[in-house]
Structure 1
């Protein structure tokens, strides 16, 4: 033990050991492979400003993923840094178990003002996973208090991503997320992905929509509405490849949920706070009024960990009217309603409301149109998106839409070329996901798309030389 302590002290004091080496020796990265866990170093980012970041070599890159869908108002906003400092100097923390702070109450009021329907109360968490976990636990509590302990099953979809905590991760519909991980499989029923690009060959969009809705309705009938507590769905499936559902699909699913007493939980961890040009997309973009909305990421533009759940007034009234007034929702987090996070979120919301939301709505059509030009490249099967989120999906050939014949690291190949050219990409196997800071200009969109085009072109040439692909 003493030798280990001496080694740690030496490493800390040794100025010659840089961050990359320290990471390889001591840092466990998210989503590691067993063969490299605890020995991996990833691209080191030193600084950020506006839509740009700078890597360890000093190369300036467009932050194509906006961190992780979250740097909505851009890097290095001095007004957000000042709010963090001022709030920390005033009140750095208070226990939410038996005290409260003013920023959290004000933020809850302002968020409720943007929410659709009767969503009126907010429970704050530390991020997206804990927000989804909280919503699911609240559904369980709600049904227990209402005398329906069997009404706990959760409907989720293929391609979904809802988090990394135990319950939230159990909903995930991407196969690789669950290959080596356990989950509450007995609580989750999976439905088909609402991905029009992957619909059966020869099926129209309208018929595909009917298929999805019929499958949902049939599943409810087969299992029984008295056993299904909630449906959880992203308005746009983000990490599943920016899957935009067919028109009218979500409204029809909402009606089935309402008719069967199934809580509709809209996961807006990604789409909330400006990504689609509005604070929330559920009502403004899709015409639905969920029973709960989860949010995180853009609520502070990534400057402080914060998330939350907005809950319907109707649900809360039903709990208050129940025969179990002493029933306890035994759920909370040490950093629930954190004063610094809530203060930052208030200022971030000011910035969004003042100009950024309107700017996003103005440039989003241009962003989508410019990305769409990449479909001219033979490696690209489809470009899709909404607002300031888009996906370039690469396929071996457009007829079969088969990504598996390609090098499975084609997204990483494209990202590597783009990194050299000045763009950071979010690679997802055969896809490149783009979700830049919402302050991006038309000229910067042109730069981003031009680099991405060149990165894909260089990757095509690599694949041809290697004999992997002959498109």
Structure 2
């Protein structure tokens, strides 16, 4: 295995990287080789220390290189390296993790299907509901309501549920999905109060159900906070009211907690504890193992499970690596660490401080809006804050700020004119102060160059 950066990048020429400008990556210095990680930090191949301000990819909640996690995975591989949860087979860690996940999940969500990514978890939710409705004698009930600005994954169906911006130039299962209006009040609610904007969103939901027909709609899917769509928080009360409308129309509510679960908002699950409702399905991944192993979960209600597990039918869905022993061992160890170290409880304090410090960046002229909650934050840059006029895309303001941050020792994620921060959940107040200082310097540097 190559160790020299030049040699690594020569080998990397054969790698198709995800969500990247593949042509742009050919430029000198466009790629960063990350070769080591520990705690809240990662290190490039030259040994430069960088605060992992994106937590890997919304996922390294307990921090990098936790010895207990590594030991649990190693021990599992030495005991049972692989066996499937297909047919009549199971194994101890898959069973134990399923029991632990439903113990943490709210309400009547007492059955779990494991996959290996958030995309798979969301595809599994829809496939399950399609099967559920076929078994109930209503195969036409298969449409999905999603939202502009949503991100639900990159597989064929999950990409259709994602905001259309991400599928431009690609085919996906668009015929199955209807996108509702974006819940972004700051950007979309001009001339209305937040309460009036919320009413308009609920009218859009109700009107869409009436036009499409509730008998044709299987589910409404929503992230508690939209992630890769720009870290958008809906108006207060949005999710509970949407849930009520879905319940009244016999439409299942899927909460995509791929990002928000396992501590990012201060709770193991956010749907009930933060947003006051219990969905019919919760999907999760990322923080489930803190990224140490690929694992996702589709957690379904007793009522759905009773139908799909009833007599005279096979559950014809699953993946080779569903419930992989090493991955489920990582999930168990991750939860044990989070419970013992009280990470979700700490996030309610440190995450609140992080949010407060980032909102203080609003005194910089090009910062249009700072939004999000706890350790899930977005900073949108505007040419004019009052009019909310965006910078031209070719200025790449988000990317320029991210590059200025990296030069100062912080990794942040650019998304057009938005900068996303989703760090590990173990940052203390001193590190948060350092992150805020780096952000301030970086934003001021870029602003001066505009």
- Which interval holds the TM-score relative to the shorter structure? over 0.9
Tell me whether 1:339 sits opposite 2:319 in the alignment: no
Q: Is the 8 A contact 2:5 2:33 kept in 1?
A: no
Matched with 1:469 is: none
Alpha carbons of structure 1 residues 408 and 124: separation in structure 2 relative to 1, 3 Å: farther
Q: Is the 8 A contact 1:174 1:240 kept in 2?
A: no
Matched with 1:459 is: 446
Matched with 1:29 is: 17
Q: Is the 8 A contact 1:196 1:205 kept in 2?
A: yes
Q: Is the 8 A contact 2:2 2:8 kept in 1?
A: no
Tell me whether 1:120 sits opposite 2:106 in the alignment: no
Matched with 2:219 is: 230
Q: Which of 151, 154, 178 is residue 141 of structure 2 equivalent to?
A: 151
User: How many angstroms does 1:399 deviate by?
Assistant: 2.1
Alpha carbons of structure 1 residues 302 and 276: separation in structure 2 relative to 1, 3 Å: same
Whole-angstrom CA distance in 1 between matches of 2:2 and 2:296: 37
Aligned structure 1 segments of 4 or more residues deviating by more than 4 angstroms: 12-17, 36-41
Matched with 1:391 is: 378
Matched with 2:269 is: 280
Matched with 1:239 is: 228
What's the TM-score once normalised by structure 1's chain length? Answer: 0.92
Alpha carbons of structure 1 residues 119 and 196: separation in structure 2 relative to 1, 3 Å: same
Alpha carbons of structure 1 residues 383 and 344: separation in structure 2 relative to 1, 3 Å: same
- Structure 1, unpaired ranges of 5+: 1-11, 464-471
Whole-angstrom CA distance in 2 between matches of 1:16 and 1:159: 37
For residues 401-416 of structure 1, the aligned pairs below 5 Å read 401-405=388-392, 407-416=394-403
User: How many angstroms does 1:308 deviate by?
Assistant: 1.0
For residues 11-410 of structure 1, the aligned pairs below 5 Å read 18-24=7-13, 26-33=14-21, 35=23, 42-98=31-87, 99-175=89-165, 177-320=166-309, 325-354=311-340, 355-405=342-392, 407-410=394-397
User: How many angstroms does 1:364 deviate by?
Assistant: 1.6
What's the TM-score once normalised by structure 2's chain length? Answer: 0.96
- Structure 2, unpaired ranges of 5+: none
Helix, strand or coil: the match of 1:80? helix
User: How many angstroms does 1:92 deviate by?
Assistant: 0.5
Matched with 1:468 is: none
Please give the per-residue CA displacement for 1:60-82, whole angstroms capped at 9, x wherever unaligned. 11100001000000011011011
Please give the per-residue CA displacement for 1:96-145, whole angstroms capped at 9, x wherever unaligned. 22321111111111110111120001000001111011111101111111
User: How many angstroms does 1:59 deviate by?
Assistant: 1.2
Q: Is the 8 A contact 1:278 1:284 kept in 2?
A: yes
User: How many angstroms does 1:348 deviate by?
Assistant: 0.5
Helix, strand or coil: the match of 1:266? strand
Alpha carbons of structure 1 residues 38 and 104: separation in structure 2 relative to 1, 3 Å: farther
Whole-angstrom CA distance in 2 between matches of 1:375 and 1:39: 34
Whole-angstrom CA distance in 2 between matches of 1:147 and 1:115: 29
Q: Is the 8 A contact 1:23 1:39 kept in 2?
A: no
User: How many angstroms does 1:407 deviate by?
Assistant: 4.2
Tell me whether 1:437 sits opposite 2:424 in the alignment: yes
Please give the per-residue CA displacement for 1:305-357, whole angstroms capped at 9, x wherever unaligned. 00010010011223456xxx222221110000111111111010011112211
Whole-angstrom CA distance in 2 between matches of 1:340 and 1:296: 15
Whole-angstrom CA distance in 1 between matches of 2:319 and 2:27: 31
Q: Is the 8 A contact 1:28 1:38 kept in 2?
A: no
User: How many angstroms does 1:38 deviate by?
Assistant: 8.3
Helix, strand or coil: the match of 1:399? coil
Whole-angstrom CA distance in 1 between matches of 2:335 and 2:66: 13
